[in-house]
Amino acid sequence: MSRFTGPRLKVVRRFGGLDLPGLTRKRPKNTNPPGVHGAARKKKSEYAIRLEEKQKVRFNYGVTEKQMVRYMKRARRSKGSTGLALLQMLEMRLDCIAFRLGMAPTIPAARQAVNHGHICVNGRKVSIPSYECKAGDVITVRDNTKSRKLIADYAEYPGLFLPDYLEFDKDALKGKIKELPPREAVCAPVNELLVVEYYSRKI
């Protein structure tokens, strides 16, 4: 399944108007699911509930199903909670870090900024949105007028409050990752245990 590029508010409505900060800042006027029978209440099966939680993660972070499976396999091999490890890997993607620092209004916007070479990690330009950042990494803006203007404009209207595991100098457009994100700082409003259960039957 490829990355979603369609109407984002339809996705938000699909989940009952749930806030997906990584996907869009907009809020739908109608929170019923899209479609003629969207307002009709239907009882969801256990599988449907788990699938919906997995889809929330996918849409919020903008990853493909193939990437999700890869992250899930890595999370299983890690020590500690599989669900937390999965969310931490997604949060530590460069596009998500740039978004959480306020360098972009959404993760898709941050992904585009990274793709276009506007973001540097430890002084080196990185154009791979899925680049895995680590604690201690310093995230800066490429030293040219176009890059600094773009990110400075984004930074004027940050989407989320700056989490404690990050620090950001708005004037210098420089951020630093202090540690791995704790569970309460994760931006996706999901139940990661249901995501783990979904994939336990798939891989």
**Per DSSP, which regions of the chain are E strands?**
119-121, 124-125, 138-141, 166-169, 174-177
Residue 1 pLDDT > 50:
no
What pLDDT, on a 0 to 100 scale, did the predictor assign at position 203?
79
Secondary structure of residue 120 in the 3-state scheme: strand
Higher pLDDT, 78 or 12: 78
Residues 85 and 97 in one domain: no
Residue 27, domain CATH: 1.10.1050.10
Distant-in-sequence, close-in-space partners of 182: CB < 8 Å, separation ≥ 6? 165
For residue 26, the one-letter residue type is K
Return the number of other C-beta atoms located less than 10 Å from residue 12's C-beta: 21
Q: Is residue 39 part of a domain?
A: yes
Residue 82 pLDDT > 60:
yes
Residues 110 and 59 in one domain: no
Residues 175 and 98 in one domain: yes
Spatial distance between the Cα atoms of 75 and 15, rounded to a whole number of angstroms: 25
Residue 39 pLDDT > 90:
no
Q: Using 50, 70 and 90 to split pLDDT, how confident is the model at 42?
A: confident
Q: pLDDT > 90: what percent of the chain?
A: 60
Edge-to-edge strand ranges of the sheet holding 138-141: 124-125, 119-121, 138-141, 174-177, 166-169
pLDDT tens, residue by residue, 45-77:
999 889 989 988 998 898 999 999 999 999 999
pLDDT tens, residue by residue, 131-172:
999 999 999 999 999 999 999 988 877 666 789 999 999 899
Could you give the angle at the alpha carbon of 131 between the alpha carbons of 175 and 23, nearest 5°?
Answer: 75
Residues 85 and 100 in one domain: no
pTM for the model: 0.86
Residue 111, domain CATH: 3.10.290.10
Q: Using 50, 70 and 90 to split pLDDT, how confident is the model at 188?
A: confident
Distant-in-sequence, close-in-space partners of 88: CB < 8 Å, separation ≥ 6? 180, 181, 186
Spatial distance between the Cα atoms of 193 and 114, rounded to a whole number of angstroms: 31
Query: Dihedral sign, CA of 95, 101, 103, 105?
Result: positive
pLDDT tens, residue by residue, 88-131:
999 999 999 999 999 998 888 999 999 999 999 999 999 999 99
Q: Is residue 1 part of a domain?
A: no
Residues 132 and 64 in one domain: no
- Cα dihedral 202, 46, 82, 189 in deg (nearest 10): 120
Higher pLDDT, 200 or 161: 200
Q: Using 50, 70 and 90 to split pLDDT, how confident is the model at 4?
A: low
Domain, as residue range, for 75? 8-89+188-200
